[in-house]
Structure 1
Amino acid sequence: MASTSVYLHFLSPKSPPKPSRRRHIVRWISASASEPPKPREIPGDYGLPLIGPIKDRLDFFYNQGRDEFFRSRIQKHQSTVFKTNMPPGPFISSNPNVIALLDGKSFPTLFDITKVEKRDVFSGTYMPSTKLTGGYRVLSYLDPSEPIHAKLKQLMFSLLKSRREYIVPGFYASYNKLFESIETEVLESKRKASFGDANDRAAFDFLSKALYDVNPVETKLGSHGPRLVNLWLLFQLGPLLTLGLPKLIGEIFLHTFSIPPFLIKRGYNRLYEFFHESSGSILDEAEKMGISREEACHNLLFATCFNAYGGMKLFFPSMLKWVGQSGVDIHTQLATEIRSAIRSNGGEVTMAAMEQMPLMKSVVYESLRINPPVPYQYGKAKKDFLVESHDNLFEVKAGDMLFGYQPFATKDPKIFKRPEEFLPGRFLGEEGERLLRHVLWSNGPETESPTVGNKQCAGKDFVVMVSRLLVVEIFRRYDTFEVEAGTSALGLSVNLTTLKKATF
């Protein structure tokens, strides 16, 4: 644009060039406008059959770790778009070859369903056995072009809409118990309290009550729900984990062969019975929409336990870590803002009250940006097309598997200032609102909404709301707190070490 404006200045009446020079400049502008940049060949390779994928897998899990795995290849190829192999391959997945999109400009290609197909790519280059979902390909593995996709997604919208008034009271009923338990450990017993197990119980309890009006402890499922769900999640995500096992054992039992589904069949059937008995009204609606009760129930189980519970299991400890480490000054600002808004709304936590908490909302968005709960995205190219990074243009062929590592896209230094830092106020004001389109955790920009025709998370607004409720509850109760963070099989391990109860 700068070069064009200079040449246009030469063409202005105040400084007319000679006729021959004018013709030369016009031809130059026309030629520049008509010649698009030439696509660059996608760098990288897949290595030798079997050997290349296994080498990349060992680098990913053990030799480098995932961030360094991607960072080293960006440096090697001098490109954020390149060819590589993604785990688990080559045995569990039929083809581990992917084209990685690791910047904020190329990554959103994965959301464009006119260019990419989302059939059976939810977990990655492999798909867990449908025996883990009652024999059905559930909504997350369906492409929008499949007729059942729209019906099932509309069913999820209907469930959330019908239960929206129960979400806030249901959340506080469950998480009040969580914090009372944590307070007993930290304040009375003077020892650190694990957030993870308590959060699992609270999340399952909340989802059961808020979405299905059932207290799971009062059913045949009893208190076993979180344990069964966690085990079921491991059967699906095992090929992407290490679980702290020795390399040889992990390679054989997680990354080379799938864990046999029959080992979890009994536990899954207990979960299915719980949801089938608890979902009468929404299953009735499913039948009216032309969905069998059985297929609808398996989808409700997956959406509740994998998408919602799994999201809360992964994201809540992460957000707690970032907020806990942000310091006393930020805690004081959050506590002041949150308590003031609650007082202004009759002492109740309402949707209107939360809209008056801009710093709290920014903190949630920043948590979703810096540590998105679903780090990987996949899509298979439907046709030949061009994908653009910040620096280059690349030609993608029909059938290519595209892969995106979201934490690199949402920490793109060409989009976000100080991208590796947790900045609580990053999304405040007009400039902050403009950045929201680069928050991509929901399989789409934060500024867009899920529809039956796209693959954006049906519970996008639900997840944002319950995340806000967690921050509000923390600073409604406490002036400040401190945490210790480690790792666990399915994400972060977070302990609360100190709590200071609300004093103003």
Structure 2
Amino acid sequence: MDQESGSGEVSRRVPRPVPGSYGVPFISAIRDRLDFYYLQGQDKYFESRVDKYGSTVVRMNVPPGPFMARDPRVVAVLDAKSFPVLFDVTKVEKKNLFTGTYMPSTSLTGGHRVCAYLDPSEPNHGKVKQLLFSLLASRKDAFIPAFRTHFSSLLATVESQLVLAGKSDFNALNDATSFEFIGDAYFGVRPSASDLGTTGPTKAAKWLIWQLHPLVTLGLPMILEEPLLHTVHLPPILVSRDYKALYKYFSAAAGPALDTAESLGLPREEACHNLLFATVFNSYGGLKVLLPGVLARIAGAGEKFHKKLAAEIRAAVEDAGGKVTMAAVEKMELTKSAVWEALRLDPPVKFQYGRAKADLSIESHDDKVFAVKKGEMLFGYQPCATRDPRVFGATAREFVGDRFVGDEGMKLLQYVYWSNGRETENPGVGDKQCPGKNLVVLVGRLLLVELFLRYDTFTAGAGTDLLGTKVEFTAVTKATSGPEAA
């Protein structure tokens, strides 16, 4: 048995000190921040320190550093074996650690510490998470038809833009469509039909930036971004009007869910701020990253793989009488594998944090065991763990669409961590795993269903934007078979 299962084997080995260095106080943290954002980039930042110290458990500074962070010093766990300690809430505390070494002002969330910042030991954590589970369960029959309605319209717009301009910006369309889809699917009320009109996505994106700006770059020169984004918190008052408009929509649209909240012992106002955060930050923010990431990976997989997906998807829908049902989607093994593979390579949330509740021994590969003291901050950069060549072999950094097909493929699924937990586990009220985990995988599959019912293949270029991948369609080939064939 290994350390993760709490065996005595690890404890019998003498833990070694964690290698690495924090350098000169203040000065080194600033230098490291510049490496992280501008000089090396995220992947190289972590990989270079692993190479320097010969260890995937290593001490380092993580941004944002001086002025913004409480303390930039962490113990980083950067392989598939050590990373899961961050999921074990018996060993690590999660209080106020959702964004890591800094925390946005609660003025951005109505003065409340929302569920993402609560440790499972806090009374309201379980209540809010149960509210989210109840909401998802109550609306489960709405997800597929709502997605098909909104994203069918998106793809029709893509086709029109390709005719007119020869290209189509998926991210711009997805931002508007995902916001509308989520409101419709979760609450049965389209945001555009409320006082928000078409301003919801812009207000939501602005509010997201105010919380995440210490961890992002806008592509501006370093001399501008450092003082603007990474040195002081942006004043919450500048987005207060946007937040109030979003809150007004949720307080009206989420009536049944807020009734449920009161039955769980949550004040209605606090519940509404939590629903807003979970819907806009977690769900909408997640789809802004997830769907372009999935699309880019599938585009890069090429026409041969597209034909395999199209054949599987069309056969399952035909067997379901021409309808896209949950049972039909569940039969699409290759489609599900492709979404998992995209999530493995490009997890929507790359950073995880936890503070050691007691002295710990953390095991990495090669039976190395490291000593961590109570109170130390643990940090994980998820791509290092989910692209671990010791688990995924020579193709660890490559998209292999059928990686999780069959019994052998399913054995690897335990090393997919995008949901702040193992993909083989389901979230509960007592952990920090994403309550919408299964819905996220469903939505990723539904995107592929819409694509390959409609097209035989497509081409798209990919780059990067503020939160992740940016995708631009350059061509689509209409389906020549199946229910959507012309």
The answer, yes or no, to whether TM exceeds 0.5 is: yes
Percent identity between the two aligned chains: 53
Instruction: Please state if 1:136 is matched with 2:112.
Output: yes
Q: 420, 432, 442: which is aligned to 1:443? A: 420
Q: 461, 464, 476: which is aligned to 1:484? A: 461
Structure 1 residue matching 2:391: 3-state secondary structure: coil
Q: 471, 474, 477: which is aligned to 2:448? A: 471
1:241 maps to which residue?
A: 216
Q: 75, 89, 111: which is aligned to 2:51? A: 75
How many Å separate the matches in 1 of 2:18 and 2:450?
48
2:198 maps to which residue?
A: 223
2:6 maps to which residue?
A: none
How many Å separate the matches in 2 of 1:284 and 1:94?
38
How many Å separate the matches in 2 of 1:225 and 1:231?
10
Give the partner amino acid of 2:139. Answer: R
Structure 2 residue matching 1:493: 3-state secondary structure: strand
- 1:318-377 deviation line (CA, Å, top 9, x unaligned): 110000010111000100110011000110001110121111011011011011110000
Give the partner amino acid of 1:466. Answer: V
1:29 maps to which residue?
A: none
- Which stretches in structure 2 are left out of the alignment for 5+ residues? 2-8, 482-486
Q: 325, 333, 336: which is aligned to 1:361? A: 336
Give the partner amino acid of 1:230. Answer: A
How many Å separate the matches in 2 of 1:342 and 1:194?
28
Q: 147, 150, 158: which is aligned to 2:126? A: 150
Shift of 1:36: 3.2
2:13 maps to which residue?
A: 37
Written as runs of structure 1 = structure 2, the 5 A alignment for 1:404-483 is 404-417=380-393, 418-483=395-460
Shift of 1:37: 2.8
Instruction: Please state if 1:183 is matched with 2:166.
Output: no
2:250 maps to which residue?
A: 275
Shift of 1:472: 0.8
Q: 291, 314, 319: which is aligned to 1:339? A: 314
- 1:253-307 deviation line (CA, Å, top 9, x unaligned): 1111011110000011000001001111111111111111110000000010010
Give the partner amino acid of 2:475. Answer: T
- Which stretches in structure 1 are left out of the alignment for 5+ residues? 2-32
- RMSD (CA atoms): 1.2
How many Å separate the matches in 1 of 2:11 and 2:30?
42
- 1:135-193 deviation line (CA, Å, top 9, x unaligned): 0000111000000000000000000000000110011111111001001111x225110
How many Å separate the matches in 2 of 1:321 and 1:377?
24
2:101 maps to which residue?
A: 125
- 1:430-472 deviation line (CA, Å, top 9, x unaligned): 0111111000000000000100001100110111111111111
How many Å separate the matches in 2 of 1:328 and 1:487?
23
Give the partner amino acid of 2:268. Answer: R
Distance 1:34 1:279, change over 3 A: closer
Mapped contact 2:132–2:435 kept (Cα < 8 A): yes
2:267 maps to which residue?
A: 292
More deviation, 439-448/211-220? 211-220
- 1:380-403 deviation line (CA, Å, top 9, x unaligned): 001001000003100010000000
2:484 maps to which residue?
A: none
Instruction: Please state if 1:100 is matched with 2:76.
Output: yes
How many Å separate the matches in 2 of 1:86 and 1:395?
20
Mapped contact 2:18–2:59 kept (Cα < 8 A): yes
2:290 maps to which residue?
A: 315
Give the partner amino acid of 2:294. Answer: M
Structure 1 residue matching 2:392: 3-state secondary structure: coil
How many Å separate the matches in 1 of 2:193 and 2:340?
36
How many Å separate the matches in 2 of 1:49 and 1:215?
50
Which 4+ stretches in 1 moved above 3 angstroms?
33-36
2:325 maps to which residue?
A: 350
Distance 1:221 1:403, change over 3 A: same
2:349 maps to which residue?
A: 374
Q: 362, 366, 369: which is aligned to 1:387? A: 362
Q: 59, 64, 75: which is aligned to 2:40? A: 64
Shift of 1:38: 2.2
Mapped contact 2:76–2:378 kept (Cα < 8 A): yes
How many Å separate the matches in 2 of 1:215 and 1:289?
26
2:4 maps to which residue?
A: none
Q: 92, 110, 113: which is aligned to 2:89? A: 113
How many Å separate the matches in 1 of 2:201 and 2:64?
26
Mapped contact 2:10–2:369 kept (Cα < 8 A): no
How many Å separate the matches in 2 of 1:64 and 1:281?
48
Instruction: Please state if 1:167 is matched with 2:143.
Output: yes
1:213 maps to which residue?
A: 188
Give the partner amino acid of 1:485. Answer: A
More deviation, 240-249/120-129? 240-249
Mapped contact 2:459–2:475 kept (Cα < 8 A): yes
Give the partner amino acid of 1:387. Answer: I
Aligned residues: 472
Structure 1 residue matching 2:390: 3-state secondary structure: coil
How many Å separate the matches in 2 of 1:224 and 1:491?
22
How many Å separate the matches in 1 of 2:406 and 2:440?
22
Give the partner amino acid of 2:374. Answer: A
How many Å separate the matches in 1 of 2:191 and 2:312?
35
Structure 2 residue matching 1:416: 3-state secondary structure: helix
Shift of 1:315: 1.0
1:194 maps to which residue?
A: 169
- 1:21-48 deviation line (CA, Å, top 9, x unaligned): xxxxxxxxxxxx8993321211111111
